[in-house]
A and B are shown apart, each in its own frame.
Chain A
Amino acid sequence: MRLVLPLAVTFICGMIMVLQFFIPHRPFSSMGERLTDWYMIVASAAIFLGAINLIQVHTARIQHRLRNWQYSPVVIIGFFAMILAGLFWGVEDGRPFDYMFQTMIVPMGATMFSLLAFFVASAAFRAFRSSNWRATLLLLSAFVVMLGRVPIGDVLWRLVPGAAAGAHPNLVNEIAEWLMQVPNMAGQRAVMIGAGLGVVATSLRMIFGIERSYLGGAE
């Protein structure tokens, strides 16, 4: 029973969503709409589950003095500070919640992402080596795209005599755009088809109960 019920729910809901896409007649269309409404309700509840889980995990870390438990009170204090600020003063512009969001969360998130600039540079220096003709071709394409995606590429091109007044004053940008629109698009299409088939296959396995790992290891 423990497995039968979730598998049955998955099968019924999956088949309704597939059928309602092809059968507009009642009751399929309205069933599809009801299911999407229920999905949004359940997904909202899942946010609470995630929050409760966070508190449970960090409370346990404090209780059992696990490794680096000192960071857990920081998590819990921050968590409740945001919740209480939002509950008591609202989330509109200028309120404490918005202030904490704009002054703490926004800069911290942007800072973490900006680390990528440094890591890209060090990875590029270490790994982009022209060890064979394929790697060389890749490198040259990367150079063209890197120059073409910023204005300095065409600024440098226009230093070439006759380039600025010629038929292609923005040649570097045009070549970069061609690389994106032709070879890149071809490869991306192939990847997208493969990924799409993977989604179809996994969805079929889930709907027909062949794949059960999403049930939390209960096989």
Chain B
Amino acid sequence: MSGGRILEKLDKVDRRVIYVLMALSVIVPLALKLDFPIPVGSGPSMNLYDYIDNLPEGSTVIVSYDYDPSTKAELQPMAVALCRHLFSRHIRVIGMALWPQGVSLGQQAMSNVGDSLGAEQYTDWVNLGYTVGGAVSILRMGSSIQAVYPQDRDGVPYDSIPMLNGIRRLGDLQMAICLSAGDPGIHAWVMMAGDTYGLPIGGGCTAVSAPEFYTYLGTGQLLGLLGGLRGAADYETILRQRNPGAPRGLATPGMAAQSISHLVIMAFIVLGNVTFLLGRRARKGGLK
């Protein structure tokens, strides 16, 4: 087979070959439980961790689970790691969601972590549930949280929930954390809660959305940001470094798989470019 034919075959490799190699690049590291050290320097993940770590005990933080099952792989590890950090610091968590399916995912994170750390529902955490208004709901919560949530997800009246005693509006909270997969999400929280009511905002998002939130990091409108699975793995790593005994989490094992799959994609890009450049040379009368 001539060099030209080989180039042609490589250039037009069946996409199913690519799919199989991608699948193997994710499955094999997970099956072999490969592990790479995760270096965490100063950056958006550390900034978020430090801010939460410096909150006084007994503070109340609202966590908005604005994602759905499709992005659970990236955002649920963040939710679990954040809940672990907040509960271990005896910070009370008000859970809510601007996406309907976020309610159950948030409930899962808070109840599982709460059970493991002895955090009680209604005393240490509460799930207010889903609100349909998006950014408008956040705006309304700025003057009255009870107007948006007269009862929690399970129908318990707002006034009957012990940990919400004295919490009337967003200004009574110490921070809001938005875990967002799209819209409504971090943009709405920054605009409506951060800029309008001065509430400190932290964020977590999918990796593809992370670049657009760096604008808020630059101006201080976001205190910190967990970007994608790497952000979640960073947070888990910092938690383990500062709290020996903390579990490994869901994101850290995924880093090895992500590393290998990135290398595979890069290899394909290099292969594509090599065949492209050699082909271009051949067309100009170089190689046959």
Instruction: Indicate whether A105 sits within 8 Å of B269 (C-beta atoms), given known contacts A37-B140, A185-B218.
Output: no
Determine if B68 is an interface residue (Cβ-Cβ < 8 Å).
yes
Given contacts A36-B139, A122-B18, contact A169 B265 (CB under 8 A): no
Other A-B pairs, 5, CB within 8 Å; known A29-B143, A124-B265, A142-B269? A112-B70, A121-B18, A128-B273, A139-B269, A189-B215
Is B258 close to A, CB under 8 A? yes
Contacts of A109 in B (CB 8 A): 68-70, 72, 101
Indicate if the CB atoms of B273 and A106 lie closer than 8 Å: no
Residue-wise interface mask of B (94-118) relative to A, using a CB-CB cutoff of 8 A (1 in contact, 0 not): 0000000100100110010000000
Binding site for B on A (CB under 8 A): 29, 33, 36-37, 39-40, 43-44, 47, 91-93, 98, 101-102, 105-110, 112-114, 117-118, 120-122, 124-126, 128-131, 139, 142-143, 146-147, 149-155, 169-170, 173-174, 177, 180-181, 184-185, 188-189, 191-192
Q: A43-B132, A125-B272, A129-B276 are in contact. Are A149 and B69 (CB under 8 A)?
A: no
Given contacts A40-B136, A40-B140, A106-B72, contact A98 B104 (CB under 8 A): yes
Do A151 and B259 have beta carbons less than 8 Å apart?
Answer: yes
B132 and A40 within 8 A (CB): yes
**Taking the complex as formed, is B287 at the interface, i.e. its CB lies under 8 A from any CB of chain A?**
no
* Contact A40–B131 (Cβ < 8 Å): yes
Interface residues on B, range: 35 or more
Question: Is chain A's interface secondary structure helix, strand, loop, or mixed overall?
Answer: helix
- Greatest chain A CB density within 10 A among B21, B153, B259 is at B259
A130 neighbours in B (Cβ, 8 Å): 273, 276-277
Q: How far is the CA of A29 from the CA of B119 in the complex (A)?
A: 38
14 interchain pairs (CB within 8 A)?
A43-B134, A91-B104, A109-B70, A118-B22, A121-B21, A125-B13, A139-B269, A152-B259, A152-B262, A152-B263, A185-B217, A188-B211, A189-B218, A191-B212
Q: B41 to A173, Cβ gap below 8 A?
A: yes
Instruction: Give complex CA distance A55, B143 in Å.
Output: 38
B36 touches A124 (CB 8 A): no
Please give the distance in Å from B189's CB to the nearest CB on chain A.
15
Q: Beyond A124-B265, A146-B266, A170-B39, is A105–B13 a contact (Cβ under 8 Å)?
A: no
Q: Does B83 contact A (CB under 8 A)?
A: no
* A113 near B18: Cβ-Cβ < 8 Å: no
- Residues from chain B with a CB closer than 8 A to the CB of A188 are 211-212, 214-215
Are A185's CB and B136's CB within 8 A? no
A83 to B214, CA, bound (A): 40
- B residues engaging A (CB < 8 A)? 13, 15, 18-19, 21-23, 26, 36-39, 41, 43, 68-73, 101, 104, 107-108, 111, 131-134, 136-137, 139-140, 143-144, 147-148, 153-154, 207, 210-212, 214-215, 217-218, 227-228, 230, 255-256, 258-266, 268-269, 271-273, 276-277
Give Cα A17–Cα B72 distance, bound, in whole angstroms.
Answer: 35
Q: A139 and B273: CB pair below 8 A?
A: yes
The answer for the CA separation of A210 and B35 in the assembled complex, in Å, is 59
- Which chain A residues lie closer than 8 Å to B228 at the CB level? 149
Given the interface pairs A105-B101, A109-B69, A152-B262, the reply to whether A118 lies near B18 with Cβ below 8 Å is yes
Residues of A within 8 A of B215 (CB): 185, 188-189, 192
Task: Tell me, in angstroms, the Cα distance from A177 to B211 when the chains sit together.
Answer: 10
Is the CB–CB distance between B104 and A102 below 8 Å? yes
Is A105 a contact partner of B26 (Cβ separation < 8 A)? no
Given contacts A106-B69, A114-B73, contact A181 B218 (CB under 8 A): yes
What B residues does A91 contact at CB under 8 A? 104, 153
A residues in contact with B148, CB < 8 Å:
40
Which chain A residue lies CB-closest to B276?
A129
Complex-state Cα separation, A40 to B153, whole angstroms = 17
Contacts of A192 in B (CB 8 A): 212, 215
